[in-house]
Amino acid sequence: MPSATIELEAGRGTGVLDSEAIVGVLMAGGGSRRMGSDKAAVALGGRPLAHWAAATVAATSPHRVQSGGPPIGGLGWKILSDLRPGGGPAAGIETALACFPGAAIAVCAVDSPFVPPALLRAALTLLGPGVEAAVPWFEGRWHPLIAAYSPAILPALTEWLDSERYSLRKLLDTRRVAKIERTEIEQLGEPATLLTNINTPEDLTRAEAFVSGAELL
């Protein structure tokens, strides 16, 4: 489907804006093999890496949970255990949608520290009739763990996982998804920075250099 223009001013979109209908989900499952230690706990800008993404999630909805992973110190959020252990991020999203029937979810990966809350809020405004998800599209691929998902996508997601398919990106290729294109993301900042994932010590070093002169999101 064609990309949609982000409405950055709250209340001007046509999708989900009611905080009672939104659950913020911090995606914290998966290993930290390339980091060599628990990346959620490594320090970035003097605070745990996970707390950056958690701040974005918390600013998106008063209802927030952690999907997968061990408890993150300093949060105290409810942790959702995947209904399909080993099913990857797709299983985490399925679990969140199933645990909160009728709610849309705004997701942010634990290793994505520079996502502004405005990006998730904008994604939520793009949900609506016929739009099952709103996801950034940058450098030729989806970024499905910085996104909003409608409860309408749950049946297709469950069927996808039942057939032992686990790629969220490939699923999104088959669904009605609002693409958040580069030009829309640029309204909030440099897309390559905002969509950064911290997977390795080298990534962490680059991120530390960036935040040394930046204000906290």
The predicted-structure confidence for 168-178, as pLDDT tens digits, reads as follows: 999 999 999 99
pLDDT above 50 for 26:
yes
C-alpha span between 24 and 58 (Å, rounded): 7
Mean pLDDT for 28-35 is 69
**Model confidence at 42, in pLDDT bands (50, 70, 90)?**
confident
The predicted-structure confidence for 52-66, as pLDDT tens digits, reads as follows: 999 999 999 999 999
* Structural domain spans, the chain: 19-209
Topology of domain 19-209, per CATH?
Spore Coat Polysaccharide Biosynthesis Protein SpsA; Chain A (3.90.550)
C-alpha span between 183 and 132 (Å, rounded): 21
C-alpha span between 24 and 94 (Å, rounded): 14
CB environment 4-30: b (16+ within 10 A), e (fewer): bebbeeeeebebbeeeebbbbbbbbbb
| Beta-strand relationship, 104-109 and 146-149 | antiparallel
pLDDT above 60 for 97:
yes
The predicted-structure confidence for 116-154, as pLDDT tens digits, reads as follows: 999 999 999 999 989 999 999 999 999 999 999 999 999
Of 202, 170, 158, 185, the residue nearest 35 (C-alpha)? 202
Of 133, 155, 152, the residue nearest 144 (C-alpha)? 133
